[in-house]
Structure formats: C-alpha cells, structure tokens
Amino acid sequence: MTQYLIGVDFQAGDDPAPMSDWTPEEVQAHLDYYGELLGELEANGELVSSTILTGPDLAKIVRSDGVAPVVTDGPFQEFKEWLAGFQVVEVDSEERALEIASRMSAVPGRGGVPTRQPIHVRQVMEQAPADTEEMDAFLRTAGGTR
C-alpha cells in the first residue's frame, strides 16, 4: 500500500464565484459531499488523515540562521495557490488515489454543479533522502539540481 497526499487549494474550478456568493444550502451541500466522501474513505480504511488549514492571512513565514528566527506575515503568493487542506490516503495504486482526487474535484458548487476544482496528488515518500546520492536522485524527480 502506498500513501498519497491529496491537496485542495483555493482555486475555484469552473465557476469563479467565491463561496461567499453561494447560498447557505449550496455551502452545506458542498460540506456534506466532503463529509460523505471522507466517511467512505475512513470506513474503507483508506483515510490516514484529513486536515483543514486556516487561511493564508493567518500564516507566518519563519526564517532562521539557527540563532535568531525572523517571523513575518509575508510576502505570500496569490491566495488561490494556498493549500486549504489535505487528506493522506493509503491505497493500492496511484489509479485509486487519482480516482479519489477526481471525486473531490466533483464536489458540488453553486446550483449543485460539480466544481471541477483542481486537486493536487503527490505520493508520500517512504523515507527521506539519507545521503548525497539519494538527495541527487530526489532532486532529479523534483526538477532541481544540487
């Protein structure tokens, strides 16, 4: 079994209207859909964890030289690119992780229409790189170089 992180950000999908423009019933249908899907994943034993994050306006950036940390509240990238929450699932295949992500993308929006919101899927590494050779291999998959 392999673990995958399924990330949801603030991108709207097909309908650019912010959730503040939705009716209370549309918001509740959206939340209920997520609740049912996560309940199903939990019952299947596929849900490892589920986390909702506060908005980026409450986030902090910490930089440190090992002695004196500096904490700021920015600059930040665009709001829509910030992670809103994530689930970690443990499944038999990447195909199953993508299937779960596609169901999250179909969460209802205004008028009950699926949002088609972009969902981020990444495999969780089984272990972190332990030496320069493993770090070089990791950086190649991340599109970087050491």
DSSP H or E segment with residue 71? strand 70-72
DSSP H or E segment with residue 30? helix 24-44
Residue 99's pLDDT band, with cuts at 50, 70 and 90, is: very high
pLDDT tens for 107-137 read: 999 999 999 999 999 999 888 888 888 788 8
pLDDT tens for 15-68 read: 988 889 999 999 999 999 999 999 999 999 999 999 998 887 788 888 898 999
Cα dihedral 24, 26, 27, 31, rounded to 10, equals 130
How is the beta sheet containing 119-123 ordered, strand by strand? 47-52, 83-91, 2-9, 119-123
Closest C-alpha to 12, from 100, 103, 107: 107
CATH class of 2-141: alpha beta
